[in-house]
Structure 1
């Protein structure tokens, strides 16, 4: 118990070190934006219906958008809260698109399916809390990532579903202040999905981005291919290419569950910087996250982030996956202590069905349905990243039977 109190005290001191709660900064103005004061004007909130809850929500017809934020000036968005009337439907969570534009840019710095943006992959809504996102009762979405801007900010939600969204509620809490920094780092987010990853090729969490900044982390969702049955899918290592890396990365992990802070498989848990919110072996659905807050990842020229698509099982099971299920896979290593066989380094490696194929735990490249949201800061208000994939790709097979 004493250790817990000590840890709490340390965390509190770290939280308050930047600014004491009783400090009053100069020339900073607190503003809230909601439908009750959409322009964040002083003394202009709750005017409709004589101040009696006159405009708490909006509707978004199919194919239309609504601005949550559209303001001029300089400031920092500190918190976003949002909920809507279809918050438990995976198709709607993937069909709603949230976009963020900084300093008058026409291209969004953020363009991500709404559910995935708020920290949960696969269009799921489950209760959790992390350092950056929370969903207290699986009915709302919260984000506390600071998002600075110099000349203006715009946040939109677009309904790309085939039906109307009856209610969307939100508030955005921000500070209006002048930025004295010579170079501002803007918040960005990127989403990507591959319905069937290419065998032997790493999945791209974040394509190469040029500039200076900080990689904040990612949440990843996987629907496993049924041909692999319930064999372990998470042997893939995260690779982060920094500042001119080409064939090989500077940062490399040792496995997927290792990257998110657990080991020997992956159940459900949610911690501040790492978590696994969905781990459904029967459905073959997994969603997990890792945020690099205590372990910052900086880049000064460019960055790219990938994760290997690799699983593992005993040799006999791997053979059965191929011979009985027709699963596509490429064996890469075999482990049976004290031996660890690197098949891809062998001149003439044995085939999986050969008598001399080594016995032991066999890791293999595999192909699954993978999606990910990457969060990062960049010293530019927009980037050259590809635009968000169309809604048909985002929602395809989102409900697995």
Structure 2
């Protein structure tokens, strides 16, 4: 069991967008461009990734700058491990940090969160020969700039028996009865959680939450090894999260708007990580009669560790498909801190 009092033979370092010579804090990420924010050679483990960026709120220092909360979906985070050309992490910023609805939610959990304008991830991310972090801006209107600090430990020898951190992003429109796929993974590893955001076309409709999880593991590929009792039950809530938003250490609902038929949820597996040796598929399947179900859209980010640094990310869809929501809440963020 890790203990803060334990001494470790490690060297603490930081990768940052701050330029000591120029005294600048950010790296520009213009629309339509991919920008490498930083690269590190060696072996060790990332223990915290923090970043933030303007564009989703009114800027009192640049009053004519365009504003679009959709930037939370059109700014794509990528992380590459050990020189691989396939990103292990490839995900819109909002989904990765806990809310895919193009909304800011002030919440903190053990591993991810949005903390009053900042975005953080504390999943441990080991690497053996290095890592590279990239941001792509696929927004059609907004140029932005990124502040980033990555705290990592350099170890005397490459980490042994440690998996590489991965994500898998999914988004789609659903007529109601179709399967909602969270992850389809090949290799050896363990599943450690997901973020799922959903919105129905019709107002005041949350029956998409009737779908329990079906988790297929290794030889149990035709029939799920793990089956739940409802979608909100998997996220450790109940009755369509009848008491509203909350943020727990390992599960929560950063956003719920029943009239808008939208919800964002997260569950993080810690000691209850789901192990697999060859493959894992995670779906939500609604058992209701299809005639009772109504259209909705969703996006999700799955978190897991694999024995390979090469990513299994699906291609990021077009901007139109990324911005699949029927309605995006227009939040009047505080203009001056």
TM-score, length basis structure 1: 0.74
Q: Secondary structure at the match of 2:77?
A: strand
Kindly indicate whether structure 1 or structure 2 has the higher relative contact order, using CA contacts under 8 Å at least 6 residues apart. Answer: 2
Does the 8 Å CA contact 1:121/1:288 hold for their aligned counterparts? Answer: no
In the TM superposition, what is the alpha-carbon distance from 1:294 to its structure 2 partner?
3.2
> Which one of 270, 283, 290 corresponds to residue 330 of structure 1?
290
Alignment-derived partner of residue 203 in structure 1: 180
In the TM superposition, what is the alpha-carbon distance from 1:201 to its structure 2 partner?
2.8
In the TM superposition, what is the alpha-carbon distance from 1:64 to its structure 2 partner?
1.4
Q: Secondary structure at the match of 1:100?
A: strand
The question of 1:33 aligning with 2:15 is answered yes
Alignment-derived partner of residue 249 in structure 1: 224
Higher helix fraction: Structure 1 or Structure 2? 1
Alignment-derived partner of residue 151 in structure 1: 129
Structure 1 residues 178 and 306: CA distance shift in structure 2, 3 A: farther
What pairs up with 1:196-345 in 2 under 5 angstroms? 197-207=174-184, 209-226=185-202, 229-230=204-205, 232-266=207-241, 267-309=244-286, 330=290
Does the 8 Å CA contact 1:192/1:389 hold for their aligned counterparts? Answer: no
Does the 8 Å CA contact 2:297/2:325 hold for their aligned counterparts? Answer: no
> Which one of 293, 297, 304 corresponds to residue 369 of structure 1?
297
> Which one of 193, 196, 200 corresponds to residue 171 of structure 2?
193
Q: Secondary structure at the match of 1:190?
A: strand
CA distance in 1, matches of 2:234, 2:246: 14
Q: Secondary structure at the match of 2:70?
A: helix
* Structure 1, unaligned runs of 5 or more: 1-16, 38-45, 49-53, 312-328, 332-363
* Structure 2, unaligned runs of 5 or more: 58-67, 330-337
TM-score, length basis structure 2: 0.87
Q: How large is the Cα RMSD of the aligned pairs? A: 2.1
CA distance in 2, matches of 1:20, 1:91: 39
Alignment-derived partner of residue 47 in structure 1: 21
Q: How many residues align?
A: 317
In the TM superposition, what is the alpha-carbon distance from 1:164 to its structure 2 partner?
4.0
CA distance in 2, matches of 1:367, 1:230: 10
In the TM superposition, what is the alpha-carbon distance from 1:277 to its structure 2 partner?
1.4
Q: Secondary structure at the match of 1:93?
A: helix
> Which one of 69, 72, 79 corresponds to residue 48 of structure 2?
79
CA distance in 2, matches of 1:114, 1:165: 15
Larger radius of gyration: 1
What pairs up with 1:112-191 in 2 under 5 angstroms? 112-137=91-116, 139-191=117-169
Q: Secondary structure at the match of 1:234?
A: helix
The C-alpha deviation readout for 1:118-169, integer Å capped at 9, x for no partner, is 11221221110111112222x1101101101101100111111123434321
Does the 8 Å CA contact 2:167/2:313 hold for their aligned counterparts? Answer: no
